[in-house]
Amino acid sequence: MKAIGYNILINKEKEGIKATKGGLLLSESQRQDIRYVKAKIQSVGDLCAGLNAGDDVYYDRHAGHRIEVDGDDYQVIKMQDVVFVL
């Protein structure tokens, strides 16, 4: 698979369970205070400068859409949704 244009194909990092200050256990998808999500880039479009396959990035959790290929889940986001690269 190869992303094209300004698109980036990523794998979201597995969500962990964390405790709130009050002791309530929540997964990251249930926490509204976490805006950005960590992911690993699988493929980068030809117009995305500064990003490479294998980079770890943080992106806006509401960005993009999910796609399933051969039983594997991926997320497709735009370059502008990436906040920073690790």
Phi, psi dihedrals of residue 74, rounded to the nearest 5°: -130, 165
Q: How far apart are CA 28 and CA 37, in angstroms?
A: 9
Q: How far apart are CA 23 and CA 46, in angstroms?
A: 46
More confident residue, 64 or 23: 64
CATH 2.30.33.40 describes domain 7-85: yes
Band of pLDDT at residue 12, cut at 50, 70 and 90: confident
Q: How far apart are CA 39 and CA 73, in angstroms?
A: 12
Band of pLDDT at residue 24, cut at 50, 70 and 90: confident
Average predicted confidence (pLDDT) for the chain: 87
Q: What is the pLDDT of residues 26-47, one digit of tens each?
A: 665 555 667 888 999 999 999 9
Contact of 43 with 17, CB cutoff 8 Å:
no
